[in-house]
Structure 1
Amino acid sequence: MDLPVVVDSNDDEIVSHELEQMRSILEEATLETHSTPLANRPRLPRIPLSKRNRAVLRALNPMLVTYLEASRDLCETDSILFGAAVAVCRIIGAKLPMAGRATTSSAIPAWRKRIEDRIAKAGALIGRLTSFR
């Protein structure tokens, strides 16, 4: 969900109706992540620090205070902060993987592929050298 964030060039304030949309997205994301086990949470992408993204972060930070004050333990605090990160990704339009971390577990790591390719190239070179000899 990509919301058009209107930022005033003078003071970087976000319009009030957009704040309400952000608050509802934050509420929805924190409720989703509260019921999601840690192993099934999606990996969060890196977000570039542009002027628009900073304005979104500045708008969401004060909203988190009420959630964090009501937090009872560290697990709940982690859930709230992860929900806020998911909300930021949704607001700015960053892509989140749907199935979580479990989808990439069966893939061969890149470092292993590189090593296997080097071994195959070395084997081919050794074969050519022995046939040349």
Structure 2
Amino acid sequence: MVEQPANVDAAVNTSVVVDSNDDGTVAQELELENMRSTLEEAIVETRSTPLENRPRLPCIALSKRNRAVVRALNPMLVTYLEASRDLCETDSILFGAALAVCCIIGAKVSTAGRAIGQSSAIPSWRRRIEECIAKARALIGRLMCFRSGNNRPRIVRTVRMAFSGTNVSLSQPDITQKLTERIDDLKQRIAAWGKRIRRYTERS
């Protein structure tokens, strides 16, 4: 009779501990199932979305929680990767996994497609080159007008600015040759600038 309460207490305590572990296991399984569902939805969405319309993924911090999410999703990818038929499909799977990680940890994902952002953002160096090309073409036009006999004040002022810093005078006998040399030099610069833009476009 003295030992009976102790045995009852031990049984109660044991049952409580077991129930607590069961609840933790069930909660963990539910969480993994939700992650698996999120991963599957992300991969399906990525496969059906063109490459240029995929969202921009943010850089996430390598915290303990984020690392744990990645470690939990890694084993789930095995089935998808083993069934992958080519590199494009593998890329979709990995991008979908990255998207699933962002959704699970609550990271903000941009809905704007990558191609739209890239097309609207023209590099500053390209804008400068295009402005130089436009100015050079306008200068070539005025130099050719002056060479053909157009002596309007605006044309003359532009030609003088083109030869500023040199010993060239507009009244010297070989001014026509100097104008031709200046025009050829500008044309070569325009061609070189155009090649830079084409090389960049081809690499892109």
TM surpasses 0.5: yes
Partner in structure 2 of residue 50 of structure 1: 63
Select the residue among 21, 27, 42 that pairs with 2:34: 21
Structure 1: unaligned runs, 5 residues or longer? 1-13, 116-133
Partner in structure 2 of residue 30 of structure 1: 43
What is the Cα deviation at residue 100 of structure 1? 1.4
8 Å CA contact retained: 2:56, 2:112: no
Identity of aligned residues (%): 77
For these two proteins, the number of residue pairs brought into alignment is: 99
Partner in structure 1 of residue 90 of structure 2: 77
Structure 2: unaligned runs, 5 residues or longer? 1-26, 129-204
Partner in structure 2 of residue 65 of structure 1: 78
TM-score (norm 2): 0.45
* Structure 2 Cα separation of the partners of residues 76 and 90 of structure 1: 21
Q: Aligned partner of 1:44: which letter? A: L
* Structure 2 Cα separation of the partners of residues 96 and 102 of structure 1: 15
Q: Which runs of 4+ in 1 moved over 2 A?
A: 102-109
Partner in structure 2 of residue 106 of structure 1: 120
* Structure 1 Cα separation of the partners of residues 90 and 114 of structure 2: 21
8 Å CA contact retained: 2:57, 2:109: yes
Q: Aligned partner of 2:49: which letter? A: T
Q: Aligned partner of 1:23: which letter? A: R
What is the Cα deviation at residue 17 of structure 1? 0.7
Is the partner of 1:31 in helix, strand or coil? helix
Q: Aligned partner of 2:74: which letter? A: N
Is the partner of 2:57 in helix, strand or coil? coil
Q: Aligned partner of 1:33: which letter? A: T
What is the Cα deviation at residue 107 of structure 1? 4.4
CA RMSD of aligned residues (A): 1.8
* Structure 2 Cα separation of the partners of residues 35 and 99 of structure 1: 16
Is the partner of 2:111 in helix, strand or coil? coil
Larger RCO of the pair (alpha carbons < 8 Å, separation 6+): 1
What is the Cα deviation at residue 43 of structure 1? 1.6
